[in-house]
């Protein structure tokens, strides 16, 4: 019988945690997945123990079966998958029960150095194909923080094969994943993917917290067509003699999970970390296994509250788009506590036709005044529209959500969300970058909070464009992903040539994005040489440097910078929506000279 048919009349009990039970049962430091090749009898014994306890779905011993975690090549991963499937089949063949299902288990792949999104997705696809080649008809993607890398893979394999796909996310006690997304957001997005058959949560929390999280989702649970899964941990571990150990309370676990199954009409229940066969035995004993197909199945609905858009810097008060070239000016917060020069520059710009002031977030990975706090002070003193840059380098998801909340209550709702520069190599041994997600991941957090917390006044955020990327197609796709994540505008890297302007034009044509062209009026030959050799991502050519006299006066150097800025504006005038100025040493008085020509 196919799993899809089975679930129409039955609730399914899964196994528990292979990894933690393996560590408790066998005295070895070997990764469980490698036992598929070295101790196949151990793998089969664990599967049989869960089946005898009442599990009717077992997951292959492959959670960490990827090249990064096992330190093997693609062929090595395929060998592990093939052996794992064989051991699972052998274990189930010895049980006199026809309805025992085997799911190919796929866990998150840590992003290794040099691995881009395409390589990550390709590895997930190859792992999935390895299972399908062995005749597996059920795939479970478990313990994920989002679907960034697995969604394209799921859609691809479903086009090619008739398989059943289960997707489970891991969240903390407060209902947020490591990517900063809420359980509601994660399950809502997964529920709207036709190629996914079952959705739910696993790991991260014990049964009590998982029950609370699902209960909080109740307003969004209506007439669903996806099966719903709950696989909590046994509880929370304690470190004993340098080992993590879970409390052995199978009765409590079983009571909570079986109660949750009945209240919410869960289709698939079982366990994750710390749940050995005793937990599954008690769960199977307490859980009502027969069920007619419950009418109130899950479709995730949008919140009833209607959003009233916050007026972004590119909008008029009535919400219409400004019919002018927008002007943004960057003011770099100081590296010390003296903000006098920055405030002086802000007051100069207060008299100009500037739409927004932007503030970098510790650029180049060097400490500067916090961008949000700097923006708030300038807004209070000048009344101008402000926009802090928010980068992903220095804060985890908890801190990012806290930052967005704090900015919002101070009426700062315009933001430029970027991945951020790495920490300088000389301080890496003592200062560690966070980078739990990139700019697209952070935009998804902002999008999630707009739907949950900021309905009446959403954040308005944009992203950066690196038109100098060697493969422009990759940059175009990245801009499109940012737009899907809610980005409403883009600032480019500084443009210094017709060739760079043409690349921006191509991005505009391909994406339809609202783009402000980056303009940096370099003020001297020395300044140009520094930007060329010391700052990554800014393409300063030798031809441009040659335009600056070696022994020019201050006025002569500035004049060259002004002329180049005007040329760039002429190259881009037909297709960009505005200009994003960054002035070396906060020489903002140059703006008037550039614009008045």
Alpha-carbon distance 92 to 293, whole Å?
27
Greatest Cα pair distance in the chain: 91
| Pairing between β-strand 515-519 and β-strand 578-582 as defined by DSSP bridges | parallel
3-299 and 326-592: identical CATH topology? yes
pLDDT per residue as tens digits for the range 159-200: 999 999 999 999 988 888 888 888 988 998 999 999 999 999
Question: Rounded to whole angstroms, how far apart are CA atoms 451 and 449?
Answer: 5
Task: Check residue 307 and give its pLDDT.
Answer: 42
Secondary structure of residue 402 in the 3-state scheme: helix
Element (H, E) at 228: strand 222-231
CA distance 520 to 560: 12
Class of 3-299 in CATH: alpha beta
User: What residues form DSSP beta bridges with 229?
Assistant: 200, 268
Q: Give dist(CA 60, CA 139) in Å, integer.
A: 10
Query: Token pair of 125, please?
Result: 């696809």
359-392 pLDDT, tens per residue?
999 887 788 999 999 999 999 999 999 999 999 8
Residue 241 has pLDDT above 70, yes or no: no
- In the chain, what percentage of residues exceed pLDDT 70? 89
Instruction: Report the percentage of the chain scoring pLDDT > 90.
Output: 68
For the chain, what are the domain ranges?
Answer: 3-299, 326-592
Both tokens of 102, joined, read 């085997």
Tell me what pLDDT residue 242 has.
Answer: 52
pLDDT at 239: 53
Strands 298-299 and 222-231: antiparallel
Taken as a whole, the chain contains a residue count of 597
What pLDDT, on a 0 to 100 scale, did the predictor assign at position 326?
95
Query: Which CA distances in Å does 551 have to 149, 532, 583, 585?
Result: 53, 19, 21, 19
Query: What is the C-alpha to C-alpha distance for residues 592 and 345, in angstroms, rounded to an integer?
Result: 13
Average pLDDT score over residue span 532-548: 88
Rounded average pLDDT over 13-31:
91
Report, at the CATH architecture level, how domain 326-592 is classified: Alpha-Beta Barrel (3.20)
Low-confidence winner among 65-69, 423-427, 583-587 (lowest mean pLDDT): 423-427
How many DSSP H helices and E strands does the chain contain? 22, 19
Q: Which of 340, 370, 389 lies closest to 582, judged by CA?
A: 389
CA 387, chain centre distance (Å): 22
Rounded Cα distance between 198 and 101, Å, is 15
User: For all residues of the chain together, what is the average pLDDT?
Assistant: 88
DSSP string for residues in 5-24: HHHHHB-EEB---HHHHHHH
Q: Give CA–CA dist 232/201, Å, rounded.
A: 7
> What does residue 32 show for φ and ψ, rounded to 5 degrees?
-55, -35
Concatenated DSSP letters for 136-160?
A: --EEEEEEES-STTTHHHHHHHHHH
**Contact at 8 Å (CB) between 360 and 386?**
no
State residue 174's pLDDT score. 83
Find, among 492, 494, 501, 545, the residue nearest to 519 by Cα.
Answer: 494
Q: What residues have CB less than 8 Å from 512, skipping those under 6 apart?
A: none
What is the model's pLDDT at position 301? 40
Over residues 513-541, the mean pLDDT reads 91
How many CB atoms sit inside 10 A of residue 212's CB? 14
Q: How confident is the model at residue 294 (pLDDT cuts 50, 70, 90)?
A: very low
pLDDT at 158: 96
pLDDT level of residue 143 (50, 70, 90 thresholds): very high
């Amino acid at each position: 019988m196919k799993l899809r048919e089975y679930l129409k009349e039955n609730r399914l009990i899964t196994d528990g945690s292979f990894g933690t039970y393996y560590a408790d049962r066998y005295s070895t430091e070997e990764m469980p997945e490698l036992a598929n090749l070295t101790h196949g009898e151990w793998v089969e014994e664990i599967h049989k123990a869960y089946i005898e306890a009442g599990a009717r779905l077992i997951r292959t011993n492959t959670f960490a079966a990827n090249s990064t975690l096992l330190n093997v090549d693609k062929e090595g991963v395929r060998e592990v998958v093939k052996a794992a499937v064989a051991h699972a089949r052998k274990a189930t063949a010895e049980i006199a029960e026809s309805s025992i299902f085997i799911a190919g288990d796929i866990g998150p792949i840590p992003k290794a150095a040099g691995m881009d999104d395409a390589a990550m997705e390709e590895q997930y696809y190859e792992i999935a194909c390895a299972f399908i080649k062995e005749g597996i008809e059920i795939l479970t993607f478990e313990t994920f923080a989002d679907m960034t890398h697995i969604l394209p893979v799921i859609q691809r394999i479903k086009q090619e094969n008739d398989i059943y796909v289960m997707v489970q996310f891991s969240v903390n006690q407060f209902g947020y994943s490591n990517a900063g997304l809420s359980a509601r957001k994660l399950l809502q997005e997964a529920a709207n993917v036709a190629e996914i058959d079952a959705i739910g949560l696993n790991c991260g929390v014990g049964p009590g917290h998982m029950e609370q999280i699902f209960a909080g989702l109740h307003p969004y649970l209506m007439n669903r067509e996806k099966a719903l899964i709950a696989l909590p941990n046994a509880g929370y571990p304690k470190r004993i003699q340098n080992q993590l150990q879970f409390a052995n309370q199978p009765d409590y676990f079983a009571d909570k999970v079986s109660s949750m199954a009945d209240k919410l009409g869960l289709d698939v229940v079982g366990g994750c970390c710390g749940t050995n066969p005793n937990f599954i035995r008690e769960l199977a004993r307490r859980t009502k296994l027969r069920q007619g197909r419950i009418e109130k199945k899950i479709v995730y609905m949008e919140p009833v509250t209607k959003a009233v858009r916050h007026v972004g810097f590119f909008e008029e008060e009535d919400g219409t788009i400004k019919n002018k070239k927008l002007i943004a000016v960057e003011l770099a917060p100081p590296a010390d506590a003296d903000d006098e020069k920055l405030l002086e520059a802000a007051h100069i710009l207060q008299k100009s036709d500037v739409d927004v002031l932007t503030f970098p977030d510790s650029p180049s990975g060097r400490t500067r005044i916090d961008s949000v706090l700097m923006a708030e002070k300038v807004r209070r003193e000048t009344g101008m529209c402000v926009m802090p840059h928010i980068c992903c380098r220095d804060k985890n998801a908890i801190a990012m959500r806290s930052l967005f909340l704090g900015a919002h209550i101070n009426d700062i709702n315009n933001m430029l969300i970027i991945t951020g520069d790495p920490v300088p190599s000389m301080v890496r041994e003592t200062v560690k970058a966070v980078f739990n997600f990139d700019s697209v991941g952070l935009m998804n957090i902002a999008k999630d909070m707009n739907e949950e917390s900021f309905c009446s006044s959403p954040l308005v955020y944009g992203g950066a464009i690196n038109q100098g990327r060697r493969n422009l197609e990759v940059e175009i796709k990245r801009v499109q992903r940012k737009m899907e994540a809610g980005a409403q505008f883009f600032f480019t890297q500084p443009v210094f040539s017709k060739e760079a302007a043409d690349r921006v034009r191509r991005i505009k044509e391909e994406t339809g994005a609202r783009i402000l062209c980056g303009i940096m009026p370099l003020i001297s030959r020395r300044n140009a040489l520094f930007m060329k050799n010391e700052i990554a991502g800014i393409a300063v050519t030798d031809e441009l440097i040659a335009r600056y006299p070696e022994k020019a006066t201050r006025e002569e150097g500035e004049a060259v910078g002004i002329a180049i800025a005007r040329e760039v504006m002429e190259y881009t005038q037909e297709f960009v929506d505005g200009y994003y100025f960054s002035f070396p040493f906060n020489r903002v008085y140059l703006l008037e000279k550039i614009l008045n020509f």
